[in-house]
């Protein structure tokens, strides 16, 4: 059974609108993946790198103040060292808040243990009346070696997060390119279908008109045969 022209038009428009909705939905889903990946990168990996760099700076200052304190036994330097300890602990807490990856947890725990040993050593020295220069040099050598390992572990954490950022950016680039490709294909498909439907609808509309014109011409020539119209 042939559909009326009005129903054909409505059906064609419905198909076009449906394809446009599907196209937009696919693009939105893909872009949501990009947004989620970018959000994770900004709130975890980038933040973790920034915190680790702050920790490295604090640790360098602490080591410098500890060395001055061991040589001079000046309480001012010990006070600065203690302030650094509080800053270090605060940054370490912040590093844990950004939910580091499982492979980072053990390294962070080792860093905290090494720093706690460092703080205990300086605190124990602060409780003594005096420390000879040779003893201070020997102690600082041991502290420097231990903290050198801590800095290596910090560098490892930074590299791990940099790799995560690089991977996330690659994913964003790939997903964005795929989204644009899908959107382009769907747009071309929708456009082609719209043109096809427009041609079909135009042909459906003009067909009965052409029949009417032909019938009119026959009447003009004196032929009064019944005219057959296409259903509208």
User: Is 94 within the bounds of a domain?
Assistant: yes
The pLDDT assigned to 100 comes to: 65
Q: Which domain holds residue 46?
A: 39-169
User: Is 144 within the bounds of a domain?
Assistant: yes
User: Is 214 within the bounds of a domain?
Assistant: no
User: Is 28 within the bounds of a domain?
Assistant: no
pTM: 0.64
- The candidate with the shortest Cα–Cα distance to 25, out of 202, 182, 148, is 182
The pLDDT assigned to 165 comes to: 81
What CATH number does the domain containing 127 carry?
Answer: 1.20.120
Segments of the chain with pLDDT less than 50: 1-2, 229-232
The pLDDT assigned to 230 comes to: 46
User: Is 220 within the bounds of a domain?
Assistant: no
The pLDDT assigned to 116 comes to: 94
User: Is 180 within the bounds of a domain?
Assistant: no
- The candidate with the shortest Cα–Cα distance to 53, out of 145, 136, 161, 202, is 161
Number of domains in the chain: 1
User: Is 29 within the bounds of a domain?
Assistant: no
The pLDDT assigned to 154 comes to: 94
The pLDDT assigned to 91 comes to: 94
The pLDDT assigned to 1 comes to: 45
User: Is 232 within the bounds of a domain?
Assistant: no
State the Cα–Cα distance between residues 2 and 229, nearest whole angstrom. Answer: 13
């Amino acid at each position: 059974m042939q559909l009326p022209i009005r129903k054909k038009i409505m059906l064609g428009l419905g198909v076009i609108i449906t394809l446009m909705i599907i196209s937009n939905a696919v693009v939105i889903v893909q872009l949501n993946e990009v947004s989620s990946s970018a959000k994770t990168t900004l709130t975890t990996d980038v933040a973790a790198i920034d915190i680790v760099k702050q920790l490295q700076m604090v640790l360098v200052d602490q080591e410098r103040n500890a060395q001055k304190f061991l040589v001079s036994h000046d309480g001012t330097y010990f006070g600065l060292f203690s302030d650094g300890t509080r800053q270090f602990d605060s940054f370490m807490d912040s590093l844990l808040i950004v939910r580091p990856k499982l492979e980072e947890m053990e390294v962070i725990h080792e860093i905290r243990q090494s720093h706690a040993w460092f703080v205990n050593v300086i605190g124990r020295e602060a409780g003594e009346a005096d420390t000879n220069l040779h003893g201070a040099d020997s102690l600082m050598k041991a502290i420097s070696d231990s903290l050198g390992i801590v800095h290596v572990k910090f560098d490892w954490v930074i590299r791990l997060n940099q790799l995560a950022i690089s991977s996330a950016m690659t994913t964003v680039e790939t997903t964005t390119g795929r989204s644009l490709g899908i959107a382009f294909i769907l747009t071309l498909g929708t456009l082609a279908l719209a043109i096809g439907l427009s041609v079909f609808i135009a042909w459906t509309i003009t067909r009965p008109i052409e029949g009417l014109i032909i019938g009119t011409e026959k009447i003009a020539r004196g032929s009064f045969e019944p005219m057959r119209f296409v259903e509208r």
